[in-house]
Chain A
């Protein structure tokens, strides 16, 4: 996709327009997924126009320039809604961009919409959204997983090539597995949490969804790094994660924790893991049994720690500063209680209650303190395991996607859907879910877990684990984009974050086609990673990525403001030529289908 933009075969405006049209048409149809809560048409088009203008001007572009990306609606994107899937934030408009969004925009990505989620990221099916559930593109009567179900479904359906989610107990990895895409939860502190609606602050982490490990790596590179606004974000250099993914696995020791393969584990899930291990063996890795003795207590410890933090974090929704306020309250206490009663859904109330209980006098030691102790024991289990092996392979989920409504009335059964993912968050570790085939037409995922800051290694192993591109193409045939929306399929076609993921000779699996543009990694690293601001008094700098404050000095939209921001004639010409190209290509035949057959 990037190469096509570079060659001038398409423009960012065309790509974004087509993406938005396809999403709107597909979602309006009977087979719509309800993956999005809001689309950002105007702002996205203004940003795309700026990106085209920069390209025409020969201005150095970010690694994701013009690429449409979807964002979970719990991450703030300036000047648009951030609902967190809750009525209590209905009508709230984010005044600023989250740290991860600033970086994404700086890399040139264009955020096309905000995706559905379980209210405040509390859930494993996206059924807890106050705005209705999302459906799994592989089977419309099934859940996409959660809580980042909208992002996973949007990527799986081909609406966008990549998306951001958040993962507190599996909320990226579990929906990635159930929708058949790649999803990564980075090490705690890798990505800024600034501007992310807090659920459980010691566990929350932002991460990417993509259709390939390589695209996932590109997105991770773009969003990682220290943010002065989040003191828990790490001051560590950000490697080019997409570099060297095909390194050999010779000498690698992969651990298989037997506690993650209990008797009675779904046969297909077990088989998917065994196929994965076989792939890794063939790539040169050794496989060893390891033990994580406190696995059984993971869910219990997680729901104590997470709900305790949630009860404290959600105390801020009081109807005073933002969001919904219950009308007609006689005094302030009544206002608090009624606002929260009407604003929060049942699962959120349940978790606030549980969290308040485990923190309350008389129960603190038995529950919260004990939960923290077990958390440390779980982290220690991992440390011990990683003294012996480089990473672990486990199932991501105990079963493929379940039916919508199947677990809706049984909160504990829903909690157990996270049984293989919560320990990673408790330990602050990175984890990635990689598609691993199908069971009765439903995708499965395997999970890799590594020590802190082992993202490069995990992505390297994940690359070897990844299904061939042929398998991914077969998977995509099942995707539920309505047939009448021919354009939608076309978006799926062009929507790869990069053209990079094609050539994979070294891994023994031939992936034909377009190679990687040389020097891109270096270019990306060379770009300043600080908060993007347009150099003042220099109109040729990106107008769209300047000071985005309402009424601020910079202009958000080089087109929308009637040309006021265009001081040089050259950029107007650039925009015109972009429009010409767009006009010329509109309905002008499908993009080449490349190696896809």
Chain B
């Protein structure tokens, strides 16, 4: 079960907007899904080791030239010179 206010709080965290109808629907859907997911609480015990992954291999952190800078920048909806442009951030 999840309350409407909680759904609104989560939506704000996720940067999503919900119309009043969408809020109703989302609250009902999430309640149903969370009721189902709550069966996890029944599970006891822990695996001996984190069996699911073989660990995350890391790669050396070094600077390499990017091959795609120009193309990637082209994909931005708005640009100014070599920068992606956004609406006003501070008043």
Instruction: Give me the interface of A with B, judged by CB distance under 8 Å.
Output: 92-93, 95-96, 188-189, 202, 228, 231-232, 294, 296-297, 299-301, 303-304, 311, 315, 318-325, 329-338, 340-341, 344, 349-350, 352-354, 356-358, 360, 366-367, 370-380, 383, 411-412, 415, 426-428, 452, 549-550
Contacts and interface: CB of A to CB of B under 8 A. Distances in A.
Contact residues of B: prevailing secondary structure: loop
Nearest to B14: A356
B40 A337 contact: no
A367 B87 contact: no
B51 A332 contact: no
8 contacts: A93-B74, A96-B71, A202-B53, A321-B75, A336-B15, A349-B16, A411-B33, A415-B36
A471 B57 CA distance: 44
A299 B39 CA distance: 10
A62 B36 CA distance: 49
A352 B13 CA distance: 10
A93 B75 contact: yes
Given A321-B75, A332-B88, A356-B10, A376 B37 contact: no
Contact of A337 (B15, B34, B49, B53): B15
Contact of A297 (B39, B57, B84, B89): B39
A344 B16 CA distance: 9
B84 A321 contact: yes
Contact residues of A: prevailing secondary structure: helix
A443 B37 CA distance: 31
A282 to B, nearest CB: 34
A311 B30 CA distance: 15
Interface in B27-67: 29-30, 32-34, 36-43, 45-54, 56-59, 67
A323 B72 CA distance: 11
B32 to A, nearest CB: 6
Given A95-B75, A337-B17, A428-B52, A353 B39 contact: no
B1 interface: no
Contacts of A411: 29, 32-33
B40 A374 contact: yes
Given A300-B40, A412-B32, A95 B68 contact: yes
Contacts of B52: 202, 372, 375-376, 378-379, 426-428
A546 to B, nearest CB: 14
A228 B59 contact: yes
Given A332-B87, A335-B86, A356-B10, A340 B15 contact: yes
Nearest to A416: B36
Given A304-B37, A332-B87, A373 B30 contact: no
A549 B68 CA distance: 8
A544 B68 CA distance: 19
Given A352-B16, A353-B7, A370-B43, A232 B26 contact: no
B71 to A, nearest CB: 3
List the 5 closest pairs (A to B, CB-CB), nearest first.
Answer: A95-B71, A376-B47, A379-B51, A325-B77, A322-B75
A325 B78 contact: yes
B35 to A, nearest CB: 9
Contact of A428 (B7, B11, B14, B53): B53
Contacts of A330: 87-88
Contact of B45 (A188, A340, A377): A377
A235 to B, nearest CB: 8
Contacts of A375: 52
Contact of A350 (B29, B49, B50): B29
Contacts of B40: 297, 300-301, 304, 367, 370-371, 374
Interface residues of B, number: 52
A58 to B, nearest CB: 32
Contacts of A357: 2, 6, 10, 30, 34
> Which one of A318, A338, A349, A427 has the greatest number of beta carbons of chain B within 10 Å?
A349
A412 B36 contact: yes
A354 B33 contact: yes
Contact of B37 (A315, A367, A426): A367
Given A337-B15, A376-B50, A231 B56 contact: yes
A16 to B, nearest CB: 26
Contact of B11 (A297, A325, A353): A353
Nearest to A334: B87
Contacts of A325: 77-78
Contacts of A189: 54
A296 B42 CA distance: 11
B89 to A, nearest CB: 5
Given A299-B36, A377-B46, 11 more contacts: A92-B75, A318-B15, A331-B87, A337-B16, A340-B14, A341-B16, A370-B41, A376-B46, A383-B51, A412-B33, A415-B33
Contacts of A349: 16, 26
A350 B47 CA distance: 30
B15 A373 contact: no
A473 B46 CA distance: 49
Given A337-B15, A349-B16, A357-B30, A300 B86 contact: no
B76 A320 contact: yes
Nearest to B68: A95
B47 to A, nearest CB: 4
A417 to B, nearest CB: 14
A380 B15 contact: no
B24 to A, nearest CB: 13
Given A189-B54, A353-B7, A427-B52, A320 B33 contact: no
A333 B89 CA distance: 8
A311 B11 CA distance: 11
Nearest to A93: B75
B10 to A, nearest CB: 5
Nearest to A89: B75
A375 B50 CA distance: 9
B66 to A, nearest CB: 10
A335 B75 contact: no
Contact of B47 (A323, A358, A373): A373
B33 A96 contact: no
B62 to A, nearest CB: 12
A296 B37 CA distance: 11
